[in-house]
Chains A and B, each alone.
Chain A
């Protein structure tokens, strides 16, 4: 599967999940996504755990709000009905399952390319040259910033200005950490753009590398998976109506 196919598959599944209105429809779409996960032999448990870790707290929170506090579903409020907690529970189930399908599909598509380097992945995307370059630069700078965060945080913890855990001191001195990181990164970027990149001809080399990594936009396998996603979305709609 190509990265473009994975993006298209993910978008189709997400559209399907947004159009599906009931639990049955969403389960059909989740099944299509699970088929992709199994076939791509990615770490399916990791994807399930990640998605559950995001959606379970929301499920708990929504249950407290809708079932516990409000006690009726939005359509019942709109119609001015007295409503029931069971309708509110169904509303929570649909919303959470939809969010789970989206999170799971995004993570599965992401993990499918876990063995690829970011440069290889971006190079294979059907995007304009400038967009690819921008993505590579952003990823490179994220690494730079995260390293600067690590160094500055360690130094500030050593100086007793911030702590490892939640504290008032963090709230008071968090700004120093942000400012330190920003100034560090600006200095690095100025050095790179003014001296390092022109000497090493980095941007021209990057363009060459990205052009060399361009592959077919969509493969036959991609179309197969996209057809499955479309079928799942259509079935999801059917069970709704």
Chain B
């Protein structure tokens, strides 16, 4: 499963997750975009679903550990969310891989699939990350969604319910954007690179 070209793809996607966080910081964008590499890794390896889940998770996890050492020590706590994103990407987003690479761009199917995959990824990620947000951060992570949490708490909702509802209100937007960027990067990736990852005759790591 972990052939040398796939190891390279994992490393590349982990580095991409790390670097896009850096780009977002450099050009001061008000979004996270911390899972593009994870989604892209699943798309690159897609036809082999199990390998896609494993490789996408490893890419996301390594990026979280490295970002945890340098920028945000709390990111590795969201490992289960990374796993959930890897599973959704490998089982669902991967199904749209062919549409993402079709030329010329089929505008309607492309954006419809991006939105559906992004929304589902966002919903799953909001539900899976809620217990960590509640236990580790007490419901307040410092992101803009915190005020949504505060609103639900003020209306008498329990903490976990408030965090889940706030996540459901904000995560899907971020994830639609991430799936869109991953799909566009996948579209821009040279065929030669995808063939190298898929080739079964490569030597084992």
Compute how far the CA of A14 lies from the CA of B2 in the bound complex, rounded to whole angstroms. 31
Q: Given contacts A62-B140, A99-B137, is CB(A190)–CB(B192) below 8 Å?
A: yes
Compute how far the CA of A144 lies from the CA of B18 in the bound complex, rounded to whole angstroms. 12
B residues 72-117 near A (Cβ < 8 Å) are 72-74
Q: Smallest Cβ distance from A59 to chain B, in angstroms? A: 10
Dominant SS at the A interface? helix
Q: Does B169 contact A (CB under 8 A)?
A: no
The listed residue (A61, A102, A110, A193) touching B5 by CB distance below 8 A is: A193
> Are B190 and A138 closer than 8 Å at their CB atoms?
no
Dominant SS at the B interface? helix
> Are A65 and B158 closer than 8 Å at their CB atoms?
no
> Are B146 and A61 closer than 8 Å at their CB atoms?
yes
> Are B11 and A138 closer than 8 Å at their CB atoms?
yes
> Are A70 and B29 closer than 8 Å at their CB atoms?
no
User: What are the residues of chain B within 8 A of A140 when measuring CB–CB?
Assistant: 11
Interface string of A44-86 (1 = CB under 8 A from B): 0000000000100110011001100110001001100000000
Q: Smallest Cβ distance from B78 to chain A, in angstroms? A: 14
A residues 126-144 near B (Cβ < 8 Å) are 130, 133-135, 137-142, 144
B residues 173-199 near A (Cβ < 8 Å) are 181, 184-185, 188-190, 192-193, 196
**Footprint of A on B, CB under 8 Å?**
2, 4-5, 7-8, 10-12, 14-16, 18-20, 22-23, 26-29, 58, 62-63, 66, 68-69, 72-74, 135-142, 146-147, 149-150, 153-154, 156, 158-159, 181, 184-185, 188-190, 192-193, 196, 205
Could you give 16 example pairs across A and B, Cβ below 8 Å?
A65-B147, A69-B150, A103-B73, A106-B69, A134-B62, A137-B11, A138-B14, A138-B15, A149-B22, A149-B26, A174-B29, A177-B27, A186-B12, A186-B189, A186-B190, A190-B193
